[in-house]
């Protein structure tokens, strides 16, 4: 009988003294020791998670990139838009300092300053966000506001913003709570009417109301895998107080709102004199928070986006520089593609000027410029890899011929 008695390798109790004994080839463990082992592992995992999330706190203020350094990094990839770069660089730097602020008794607590960037399509809003993500030492994610709806309707809930931040943070909650979120296409959730909606504005005002708690800072129950497809999962509790939100949108047509506001102030002789100094070709520089309200953002969400900056419409010189200057410029990308096939690709200056002229005609900014380059290069990309040639030069005549054959047409 004694030979059949098995004992726990940890506490030494026999199988008669415990509720369950799990045996292996060389040892055994009882249910009590197994529960204690689970508690030890759980505490260790939480401690490691906090330690991992606190690694950023080990950085010193002297080690952080200064606003001028951040802007210099952005200059390598984004042409122009100096004002927007300065706003973004200062906001990111202040976010770092806010995370590193020492706990003092002076009663001064640095609050976060969420940003909204307004600019026409193709001016570099999303590009700046993606570029600055390479430099950051905190989790960074880009989400699209067009997919959000009010809870209970087809679409995604606003909490899915934090689900993506958790994914980037490898589900490390303390680390995610120090991250930065770029919400693109924020103008697409504008209110559909000037007056508050009597019925539900499912993908407009309702989404803005749902975003308020995230932008302000609160404890949010986040479904890590998405709430509607996995309804039985446990929620992660994320505090958004230290998460910086950067919003961007084209706000197409907001120039009319700005012009209406400026025209209403033209009363009396002095106002007429001041009106002569207004640049009618660049009304975006005069944008104010009240213009966002006229466009359809509710006052509550505007108040939670205190930093407002604009991106300029791309002029001829800027478009010309976009072709060749940045590290990942369109021309360099094409040259790298052909170089992988052993082909030296060159562009004539007048061909580049022709592309810029067409981009201005299409009024799509840098995206229109890329469409033009792709339309011109589709034939060489198809024929040259199997032709055996070692070099190819794009002339204005060739560019014009290829673009006329393509389906790319200007906007009316």
| 243 falls within a domain | yes
Mean pLDDT, residues 125-144 = 84
230 and 294 in a single domain? The answer is: yes
| Parallel/antiparallel/unpaired status of strands 140-144 and 115-118 | unpaired
Q: How far apart are CA 364 and CA 362, in angstroms?
A: 6
| 411 falls within a domain | no
399 and 370 in a single domain? The answer is: yes
Per-residue model confidence (pLDDT) at position 393:
94
Phi-psi map region of 64: left, alpha, beta (phi>0 left; psi -120 to 50 alpha): beta
Number of domains in the chain: 3
What is the band of 64 on the pLDDT scale with cuts at 50, 70, 90? confident
Sign, CA torsion 70/76/78/84: positive
Q: Which domain holds residue 53?
A: 2-57
Q: How far apart are CA 260 and CA 257, in angstroms?
A: 5
What is the band of 188 on the pLDDT scale with cuts at 50, 70, 90? confident
Per-residue model confidence (pLDDT) at position 2:
44
- The winner for highest mean pLDDT among 10-24, 58-72, 144-158, 223-237 is 10-24
272 and 296 in a single domain? The answer is: yes
pLDDT tens digits, 304-315:
999 999 988 888
Point out the domain boundary residue: 32, 57, 82.
Answer: 57
- The winner for highest mean pLDDT among 110-124, 181-195, 222-236, 269-283 is 110-124
Q: Would the pLDDT of 191 be above 80?
A: no
Query: Buried b vs exposed e over 310-345: b needs ≥16 C-beta within 10 Å?
Result: bbbbbeeebbbebbeebeebbbbebbeebeeeebeb
113 and 248 in a single domain? The answer is: yes
17 and 142 in a single domain? The answer is: no
CB 388 within 8 A of CB 341: no
What's the whole-number average pLDDT of the chain?
81
| 81 falls within a domain | yes
Per-residue model confidence (pLDDT) at position 383:
92
Tokens of 152: 């209970």
Tokens of 138: 């905190």
Q: How far apart are CA 409 and CA 412, in angstroms?
A: 9
250 and 362 in a single domain? The answer is: no
Tokens of 125: 């809003």
CB 140 within 8 A of CB 168: yes
Q: How far apart are CA 250 and CA 291, in angstroms?
A: 13
Burial class (CB in 10 A: 0-12, 13-18, 19+), 393: exposed
CB 115 within 8 A of CB 132: no
211 and 253 in a single domain? The answer is: yes
Q: Name the residue with tokens 């430099």.
A: 135
Per-residue model confidence (pLDDT) at position 336:
94
183 and 234 in a single domain? The answer is: yes
pLDDT tens digits, 364-375:
778 888 889 999
Per-residue model confidence (pLDDT) at position 150:
62
Q: Would the pLDDT of 195 be above 60?
A: no
């Amino acid at each position: 009988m004694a030979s059949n008695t098995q004992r726990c390798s940890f506490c030494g109790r026999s199988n008669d003294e415990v509720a369950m004994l799990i045996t292996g080839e060389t040892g055994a463990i009882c249910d009590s020791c197994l529960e204690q082992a689970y508690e030890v592992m759980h505490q260790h995992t939480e401690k490691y998670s906090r330690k991992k999330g606190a690694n950023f706190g080990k950085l010193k203020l002297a080690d952080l990139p200064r606003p001028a350094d951040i802007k210099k990094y952005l200059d390598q990839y984004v042409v122009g838009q100096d004002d927007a770069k300065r706003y973004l660089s200062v906001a990111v730097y202040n976010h770092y300092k806010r995370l590193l602020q020492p706990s003092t008794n002076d009663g001064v607590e640095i609050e976060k300053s969420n940003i909204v960037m307004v600019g026409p399509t193709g001016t570099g809003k999303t590009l700046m966000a993606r570029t600055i993500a390479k430099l950051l030492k905190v989790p960074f994610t880009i989400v699209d506001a067009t997919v959000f709806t009010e809870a209970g309707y087809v679409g995604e809930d606003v909490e899915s913003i934090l689900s993506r931040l958790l994914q980037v943070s490898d589900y490390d909650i303390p680390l995610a709570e120090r991250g930065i979120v770029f919400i693109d296409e924020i103008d697409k959730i504008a209110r559909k009417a000037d007056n508050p909606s009597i019925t539900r504005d499912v993908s407009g005002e309702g989404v803005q109301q749902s975003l308020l708690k995230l932008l302000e800072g609160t404890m949010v129950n986040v479904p890590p895998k998405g709430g509607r497809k996995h309804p039985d999962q446990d929620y992660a509790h994320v505090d958004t107080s230290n998460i910086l939100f950067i919003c961007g949108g084209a706000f197409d047509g907001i120039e009319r709102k700005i012009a209406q506001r400026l025209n209403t102030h033209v009363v009396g002789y002095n106002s007429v004199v001041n009106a002569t100094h207004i640049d009618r070709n660049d009304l975006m520089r005069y944008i104010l928070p009240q213009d966002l309200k006229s466009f359809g953002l509710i006052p509550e969400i505007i108040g939670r986006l205190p930093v407002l900056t604009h991106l300029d419409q791309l002029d001829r010189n800027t478009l010309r520089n976009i072709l060749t200057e940045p590290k990942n410029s369109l021309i360099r990308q094409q040259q790298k593609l052909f170089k992988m096939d052993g082909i030296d690709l060159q562009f004539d200056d007048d061909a580049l000027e022709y592309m810029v002229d067409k981009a201005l005609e299409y009024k799509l900014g840098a995206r229109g410029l890329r469409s033009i380059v792709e339309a011109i290069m589709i034939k060489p990309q198809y024929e040259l890899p199997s032709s055996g040639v070692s070099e190819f030069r794009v002339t204005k005549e060739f560019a014009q011929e290829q673009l006329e054959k393509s389906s790319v047409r200007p906007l009316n």
